[in-house]
Amino acid sequence: MAHSIKVKIYYEDTDAGGVVYYANYLRYMERARTEFLAEKGINIAQFHAEGLFFVVTHVDISYKRPARLGEIIDVTTEVAEMKKASMTILNRVCKEGFVMVEALVTIACIDKDGRPKRLPESFMAVKEPEKS
């Protein structure tokens, strides 16, 4: 089951027409991923202090319907793929059961010098077991 957060659309999130500015969806997804990991017991700030960083290396995003000023949207997060040094997250922005925006976001683990590092063991537990 996907993790979900609710986001209210404020005036600052929109363009002159009251539609969410396209790049703001990435902010909502980042927030949702952070909450997803926190719920799984992963403290990103702790890893930063230890010299491990998590960077977005690729985003494949589809905008299907706009969110508008005053609406409340659901942003879901689930792991699509887990590799040794990266993970791909499926984020969806939904309202009333309709998918408005969908993105696959690849996040890599690097050290302070920008070299790829193996994801910490705690990340391996975030991938939910496949349902049979």
Sheet holding 72-82, edge to edge: 3-8, 72-82, 86-95, 98-111, 52-63
Collapsing DSSP to helix, strand or coil, 73 comes out as strand
Compute the half-sphere exposure of residue 24: CA atoms within 13 Å on the CB side of its CA. Answer: 18
Residue 60 a catalytic site member: no
How buried is 126 (Cβ within 10 angstroms: 0-12 exposed, 13-18 middle, 19+ buried)?
A: buried
* Beta strands 52-63 and 3-8, pairing class: unpaired
Residues paired with residue 14 on neighbouring β-strands, in sequence order? 20
Collapsing DSSP to helix, strand or coil, 24 comes out as helix
Catalytic option among 13, 15, 60, 74: 15
- DSSP letter (8 states) at residue 19: B
Annotated catalytic residues are 15
